[in-house]
Amino acid sequence: MFDDMLGTAMSERGKQLLKDFPALQVLHKHDRKGVNGMIKVAEDCEEYNRRYAEPMALEIDERIGRDHDYFNWDIVKAGCQYRFLSLAIPEGVGGIAGKYIVTNMALAVHELCSTCGGIGLIFGAHTLGVSPLITAGAMAHWDTVLHEIAEEEKKGNPVLMAYAITEPSAGTDVEDPEFLAKGKIGMEARRTKGGYVINGRKCFISNGREAKYLTLTAALDRNRPLETWTTFLIENGMPGYSTPRVERKMGQRASHATELLFEDVFVPDSHVLGYPGDGMVNGILMVMGASRGPVGAIATGIATGAYNHFMAWAKTRRNGHAPIDEERIRMAAADMHAMLCANRNLFINHALVADASFGKVLAHPLVNSTYLTPRAIRTSKPMYKLLNSMAGKAFINTLLGLFISDEEITHILALASMAKFHCADNAMKITSKALELMGADDSEDRRWVEKCFRDAKLCQIYEGTNQLNRLCLYDTEISKELTVEIPRPFRAPLKVEVN
């Protein structure tokens, strides 16, 4: 019956995807082309997993356990043929992102992480690094940095990005306006002629050592971090910039978490994304509104991997007995299945709502019409200067404000936080239950589940701990104390009461 509804031309993966995500089944009736694009993303990820990730993931994880400096570039290069680095790069500058930018991203990391959370994180953290360029509407850099990433990827050369907001003395504090207002910030970007000089450290930055470009937030005045929080584009190779240390990780090991050191790093004015002082909105809250839902997808992917290995173990007969013959194992399987269904609905719900705003802007004819201007003009010096000027930024932000309201962005952030903490908590429940029931079994399935358990834990920590995300949901949707105000020209900088 289901086959009849979807038509026989659809691949098995496509049919399964629509069964797993009922919202996509409904959407398929209204936008067949858009959903077919999502199916293609899922199929590509599945093929990548089968050909590259599955044969390598356990080996990479174990090798990094012994040698935490090791990074496997081959696994990243293999992703180029599927355009994983261009998932958030607009089509007009060579990427593959359109009106389902968030949904495709969520589906991609969900699928990739069902085999390996660490490999999935390399691509996920890269997209996170790209995000502030999109949310700040930094079109001057779309035609340079994003174009370069997309074009190099087509040639099989991965150019990675990273997103750097966490500091040694401020992790949770940088992700919430109220906490940032009283946070102890170490990094400072001091005004100088033609730009800023940055000093300080960032820590735990995924892809930090491997990234050619970083998006970074820093205070212009450490005593007024919230009002002066600003987003910058950093290029690896800027004098004074280094990556002294890579962390020893428990999970998601294939992706490095790195300490970044800035010693008098000069960053030109052109590399300020958005307005100076609006970093909490364009560099954090809008980015998190897009990316926390996909973290829920990462967690769900990892838990799905654990569930699949658990079920394979449960159905394996030894001496005439299979664990699945026992009622307690069947009940545990039903619990896991229900949690995975709930997770999928939560993160796809966020993604589709986010795309009704972010995707709508990206695919809008007005944005697309800018690509009718020849590239030579778009990348000319005067145009670069205009787009980076206050007038150019004001124009882009005014347009953005016409398409997305503060209420929409606030609601998207609430859905993102809810998907993030609920999916991550369920992933911990699923992976730990599976590991517990498999006991001291020394099968390959148990090795995978043990890795999934370690990988799942990180989903409760990054992109704001689950505690912070609970508070964010409360502030935005329950008490309605926090509204994300999109930066607009002449709008007063964000301020909060500090008790």
Ligand X SMILES: Cc1cc2nc3c(=O)[nH]c(=O)nc-3n(C[C@H](O)[C@H](O)[C@H](O)COP(=O)(O)OP(=O)(O)OC[C@H]3O[C@@H](n4cnc5c(N)ncnc54)[C@H](O)[C@@H]3O)c2cc1C
Structure tokens at 181: 């207002």
Nearer of residues 93 and 284 to ligand X, judged by Cβ: 284
Minimum Å gap between C-beta 217 and ligand X is: 8
Left if phi > 0, otherwise alpha if psi is -120 to 50, otherwise beta: which for 200? left
Give the list of residues 6+ apart from residue 355 with CB closer than 8 angstroms, or none: 99, 100, 101, 102, 103
Nearer of residues 171 and 200 to ligand X, judged by Cβ: 171
Nearer of residues 79 and 171 to ligand X, judged by Cβ: 171
Nearer of residues 164 and 353 to ligand X, judged by Cβ: 164
Minimum Å gap between C-beta 377 and ligand X is: 35
Backbone φ and ψ for 442, nearest 5 degrees, come out as -110, 30
Nearer of residues 247 and 406 to ligand X, judged by Cβ: 247
Q: Is 87 exposed, middle or buried (0-12, 13-18, 19+ CB in 10 A)?
A: buried
Minimum Å gap between C-beta 336 and ligand X is: 25
Minimum Å gap between C-beta 156 and ligand X is: 25
Nearer of residues 14 and 129 to ligand X, judged by Cβ: 129
Binding site for ligand X (CB under 6 A): 125, 162-166, 171-172, 175, 179, 204-206, 249, 257, 458, 461-465, 467-468
d(C-alpha 342, C-alpha 303), whole Å:
12
Minimum Å gap between C-beta 360 and ligand X is: 27
For 489, the enclosing helix (H) or strand (E) is none
Minimum Å gap between C-beta 171 and ligand X is: 2
* Cα-to-chain-centroid distance, residue 448: 24
Q: Is 371 exposed, middle or buried (0-12, 13-18, 19+ CB in 10 A)?
A: middle
Nearer of residues 6 and 496 to ligand X, judged by Cβ: 496
Minimum Å gap between C-beta 42 and ligand X is: 25
Minimum Å gap between C-beta 165 and ligand X is: 4
Minimum Å gap between C-beta 369 and ligand X is: 34
Nearer of residues 25 and 465 to ligand X, judged by Cβ: 465
Structure tokens at 115: 């085999």
Give the list of residues 6+ apart from residue 40 with CB closer than 8 angstroms, or none: none
Residue whose CB is nearest to ligand X in the complex, by number: 171
Nearer of residues 21 and 204 to ligand X, judged by Cβ: 204
Q: Where are the alpha helices (DSSP H) in 8-116?
A: 12-20, 22-30, 32-48, 54-66, 73-80, 101-113
Spatial contact of 323 and 62, defined as CB atoms under 8 Å apart:
no
What does the angle CA 411 – CA 414 – CA 417 come to, to the nearest 5 degrees?
Answer: 150
- What is the sign of the dihedral through the CA atoms of 76, 80, 81 and 87? positive
156-189 burial, b for 16+ CB within 10 Å, e for fewer?
Answer: eebbbbbbbbbbeebbebbbbbbbbbebebbbbb
Structure tokens at 418: 């809810």
